Amino acid sequence: MVGYDPKEDGRSNSKFEVAVAGSVSGLITRALISPLDVIKIRFQLQIERLSRSDPNAKYYGILQAGRQILQEEGPTAFWKGHIPAQLLSIGYGAVQFLSFELLTELVHRASLYDAREFSVHFVCGGLSACAATLTVHPVDVLRTRFAAQGEPRVYKTLQDAVVTMYRTEGPLVFYKGLTPTLIAIFPYAGLQFSCYSSLKHVYEWVMPADRKHSGETFHK
């Protein structure tokens, strides 16, 4: 169960287990979607139109971009910036899941609201995502810089990137794009958590615990 559930108080996962679950889910997801993330960033940074008819366009399609990157930079190019990306995903997942658990429990204990309500999950989900974003945004900026660079590389190592960016652009460079990110992530994560909760309640209504138990007994 994601979030605090008063019905499972005393039987739910510990805060440490919640943080670990969020970290592991972020790690696996990031490893799988990294190639598409690299292609997406290349598309976003290309000034020319993403069209085959534009002679100046280096990339104009997902498959073509994948082949182009593979030929020019090798298979490891699809995991450029993977270390900061993994730090981002692991940290983000841990902070988001843990803060969501803490916020929903706080709401339940400090008010009359049911911690499982749609509105509670929406607000707590949005706030937990904002907390996670604030925590890992510098790593997200680093990940984007690494994934965007082609050959020759501008930044050779993570330490080199941190030092170079700090010296040339100042400390605020690590929080570039923070405001629109927070504005976008709040409703996105809020709906994600609240819809998950609502769908879980629908499933429990369609398949009550006693029916599932009787079904398992029957099959045995």
What CATH number is associated with residue 181?
Answer: 1.50.40.10
Closest CA to 115 of 132, 99, 103: 103
* pLDDT higher than threshold 50 for residue 218: no
The verdict on residue 218 lying in a domain is: no
Predicted pLDDT at 201: 73
Structure confidence by residue, pLDDT tens digits, 169-203? 999 999 999 999 999 999 999 998 888 878 877 77
Predicted pLDDT at 133: 94
- Lowest-confidence segment of 3-12, 45-54, 96-105, 209-218 by average pLDDT: 209-218
Count of domains for the chain: 1
Q: Which domain holds residue 141?
A: 6-206
Q: Which residue has 């045995």 as its token pair?
A: 220
End-to-end Cα distance, the chain? 26
* pLDDT higher than threshold 60 for residue 63: yes
The verdict on residue 215 lying in a domain is: no
The verdict on residue 216 lying in a domain is: no
| 3-class DSSP assignment, residue 164 | helix
- What's the pTM value of the predicted model, to 2 decimals? 0.66
Closest CA to 26 of 103, 74, 118, 95: 95
Measured distance CA(205)–CA(183) in Å, rounded: 34
Predicted pLDDT at 154: 79
The verdict on residue 211 lying in a domain is: no
In the chain, how long is the greatest CA-to-CA distance? 69
The verdict on residue 217 lying in a domain is: no
The verdict on residue 1 lying in a domain is: no
The verdict on residue 212 lying in a domain is: no
Structure confidence by residue, pLDDT tens digits, 110-169? 876 666 778 888 999 999 999 999 999 998 888 888 777 766 777 888 888 899 999 999
Measured distance CA(164)–CA(155) in Å, rounded: 8
